[in-house]
Homo-oligomer: A and B are copies of this chain.
Amino acid sequence: MGGLDDDIIVEEESEKRSRAASPCGHPEDLYGTQSSHRLLAYSDALISIIATVMILPVAHTKVTNEEVVSLAVFQELTQSVQLLLTTKIAVYLVTFLIVTVAWAAHIRLFQVIVRIDDCLALLNLACMMLITFLPYTFSLMATFPANVLGILLFCGCVMVIGVIQSVIVLYAFSRPFLLNHQIQISENPTLYRSHILKVIMRVPLICLMAGVCSFILFQLSYVLLAVVIFLPYISQSIAWCRSKAFGQTEESPDSMVFYSLLPSEPLSKERVEAFSDGVYAIVATLLILDICEDNVPDPAVVQEQFGGSLIEALKVYGPEYLAYFGSFATVGLLWFVHHSLFLHITKATRLMGLLNTLSLAFVGGLPLAYQLTHEFPRNSRNELEAIQISCVIIFFAGIFQLTIWVAALHSERETLHPRVRYSGCEHVFMLAKLSLYPCVTLGTFFLTCVLSRFSASIFHLMEITVPVAFLVLRLLVRFALALLRLLFRPNPPDPGRVVEEDATVPFNPLATE
C-alpha cells in the first residue's frame, strides 16, 4: 500500500499548505472536511482492544482452576475444566477472526473514502459501538448454542453495521470530494458505488437469511454465519471455478483492485501496523492490569498472617511478577520482530493480513500461558504442561510471523524492500531474526520433554537468554557479513579494520542524503 500511503502524506501536506494559504471562505473549509488519519487510528485502537477482550474469560477460568488446585493440590486438571477452557479458547479465537473480518471491511471502506467530515465521523462512531458489541453476542451464542437469541442479536448487529456502512458510502458519494482520487476522476462513479454497495450488502443479507433460518433450523444458521467469515475465500474460489468453466467472463476494472476480495488485494500497511500495535500493547499489559487490581495485599491480612512484614506478604506474589516480566519481554520482543519485518514490507496483501491476524491471535494467549506456568507447584505435571503450552504458543506466534515474510517473498518485487529480497544484503539477518523464536521454543519444548524435571529452569533460562540473543544475533550476522565480504572481495582488508569501522562510525550517513 506504499502508493496509498504516499498519497496520504502528499495530501496531508497539500492540505496544510492549502490551509495556510486560504484561511476561510473556501468551500472545503465551509464543509469542514478533514484527513481521516486520526479517525482511523482511533478505530484501530478500539478494534484491537475488542479483538483481544474474549481472552479475559479464559483468564478468569484459570482463577477458578487455582481454587480447584489449591483444594486438591497435587491432582491433575479435571476433564470438565479442560473442556470449559477449550470452549472459551475457541470463543476467543473465533471472536478474534470475526472482529478482524469487520476490521478488514472497515479498511476497505476507508480506502475508498479518504477524507471525512463531522457527519462521517459520527456515523463511524455508531458503527464502532456495534462492532464492540459483537464479541458479547458471540459469547452468548457459544454459551447457549441451541437458543436463537444469540444468533438473532449477532445478525441484528451485523445488519445494522451493514446499513450504517451503506449510509456512509451513499453520503460519501453524494460529496465526491471525500472520495479516493481514482474514483473522483473516473467517468462513471455510480458504477463504483453500486459495486461497493453490492459487496457491503452481501454480509447483512446472509445474516438476514441466517436470522430467518434460526427459527426453522438453527444449525443451518451457524453454517451461514461460517460462510460470512470465509466469504472472501469462498467468493474467490467460485470466481476461480467460473473462470475455469466459462473462461475469463467477469473481469473487474483494474482500478477496482481494492474492492475485489482477492488475496493479493492490498491492505493499508499503516493500518495493519496500527492494529498490531494495539493488540501487542493490550496483550503486554494484560497481566499488570490483574496485578494492579488483585495483588495489593490488605493491610489487615498483612498484620495478621505475616506479622506486619510487607516483604513477606509480597513474596507470595513473587511468581506473578516474574510472569509479568516474562510475558512483557516476550510480547515486546515479538513486537520488535514484527516491527523489523514491516519496516521492510512495502505493500501488505490480504493473505499477509490473514497470517498477521493468526500470529496476533496466538500472541493474545501468551500472558495467560505465562501466568499458568507460575501457578502450579514445582515439578508437577501441570507445570510441565503449562510450560509446554507456552512454548507452543510462542512457536506459533513466531512461525506465523515467518510465514508473512515467506508470503511476501513469493511476490517480492511488489511487497518487499530490495534489501531483504533473496539477493538482498539483509536477507540473512531478517531470516535469523524471524526464526529465532520458533527455533528456541522448539528446542525448549523438546528439552522439557526429555529433561522434564528441570523444565522450569530450562524455561527461565530461555526467558533470560532470548533478549540477549537478539543483541548477539546482530553481532553474529555482522560478523558473518564481514566474513562474506572478506571471501568475495578481490583485495581483502585485514579483519582488524572491519571491527574498527564498526566501533567508530567514521562518517555521517545522513550527510550523504
Interface residues of A (CB under 8 A from B): 2, 6, 9, 12-14, 16, 18-20, 23-29, 31-34, 38-39, 41-42, 45-46, 49-50, 53-54, 56-57, 60, 118-119, 121-122, 125, 128-129, 132-133, 135-136, 139-140, 143-144, 147, 149-150, 174-177, 181, 184, 273-274, 277-278, 280-282, 284-285, 288-289, 291-293, 295-297, 299, 302, 310-311, 314, 324-325, 328-329, 332-333, 335-336, 339-340, 342-343, 417-419, 424-426, 467, 470-471, 474, 505, 507-513
Contacts and interface: CB of A to CB of B under 8 A. Distances in A.
A27 to B, nearest CB: 4
A508 B285 contact: no
Contact of A9 (B12, B24, B128): B12
B125 A296 contact: no
Given A122-B467, A470-B122, A510 B28 contact: yes
Nearest to A37: B273
Contacts of A332: 125, 128-129
B41 A274 contact: yes
B140 A296 contact: yes
A223 B6 CA distance: 51
A289 B335 contact: no
A285 B53 contact: yes
Given A24-B424, A296-B139, A310-B149, A280 B42 contact: yes
Report which residue of A14, A282, A284, A299 has the largest number of chain B beta carbons within 10 angstroms of its beta carbon.
A284
Contact of A281 (B6, B45, B149, B426): B45
Contact of A143 (B18, B299, B311): B299
Nearest to A133: B288
A310 B147 contact: yes
16 contacts: A9-B13, A14-B513, A19-B418, A27-B507, A33-B509, A38-B342, A39-B339, A42-B277, A42-B280, A46-B285, A49-B289, A56-B292, A60-B293, A128-B332, A149-B314, A177-B510
A185 B45 CA distance: 38
Copies in the complex: 2
A241 to B, nearest CB: 39
A302 B144 CA distance: 10
Given A42-B277, A57-B293, A299-B144, A118 B325 contact: no
Contact of A325 (B129, B426, B510): B129
B314 A418 contact: no
Nearest to A425: B24
B471 A122 contact: yes
Given A39-B339, A53-B288, A119 B274 contact: no
Given A26-B509, A177-B509, 10 more contacts: A6-B13, A24-B418, A24-B419, A27-B507, A33-B509, A57-B293, A132-B285, A136-B292, A136-B296, A149-B311
Contacts of A144: 299, 302, 310
A419 B25 CA distance: 10
